Amino acid sequence: MEIEQRQAQVIHQLVQQASTLNGSSIATPIVEATSHPYLFSFSEILAVSNVLQLEGTGNSAYLHLLRLFANGTWRDYKSNSGTLPQLIPDQLLKLKQLTVLTVAESNKDLSYDALLEELEVSSVRELEDFFINECIYTGIVKGKLNQLRRCFEVQSFTL
């Protein structure tokens, strides 16, 4: 099954769930959405009125987290982490994958040096493993690791 089909199924389920919940219980589908391995689009969940009603409440951090996953990067999270919920490991991975997609939208050659800094990865080996295991194999990006030029050459990506 293609990533788009898997996303559509998950989005439908989460939109239905979020539509029936309110207050602090809305945090559950938001955490599920931001940590789900096949979900990379959040606009439909952000459009749910119950989710939007979190604005200005004690649970607004979850709305802000969902917005961050829809439009932000790992760097954005780091600079606002004091006002957002702490990420669980699956969310951390997802946000770093989304960061790669965001960078790939504007650049076809992603330099290792820039990515090491952007993703806060400590070594080229760790970066290459991340690309292979978490980006290429999952189908969110296609391209080649060019060790000679120290970059990832983007051929295509899925949002």
Least confident of 3-12, 20-29, 75-84, 85-94: 3-12
Is-contact 108 157, C-beta < 8 A?
A: no
Residue 3, pLDDT > 90, answer: no
Within 10 angstroms of residue 95's Cβ, the number of other Cβ atoms is: 23
Q: What is the pLDDT of residue 1?
A: 56
* SS3 at position 47: coil
Taking only the tens place, the pLDDT of each residue in 30-81 is: 999 999 988 888 999 999 999 999 999 999 999 999 999 999 999 999 999 9
The answer to whether residue 157 scores a pLDDT higher than 90 is: no
- Provide mean pLDDT across the span 80-99: 96
Please give the domain boundaries of the chain with CATH numbers for all domains: 3-71 (no CATH), 89-157 (1.10.10)
Q: In angstroms, rounded to a whole number, what is the distance separating the alpha carbons of residues 33 and 10? A: 8
For 96-119, the pLDDT digits (tens) are 999 999 999 989 999 999 999 999
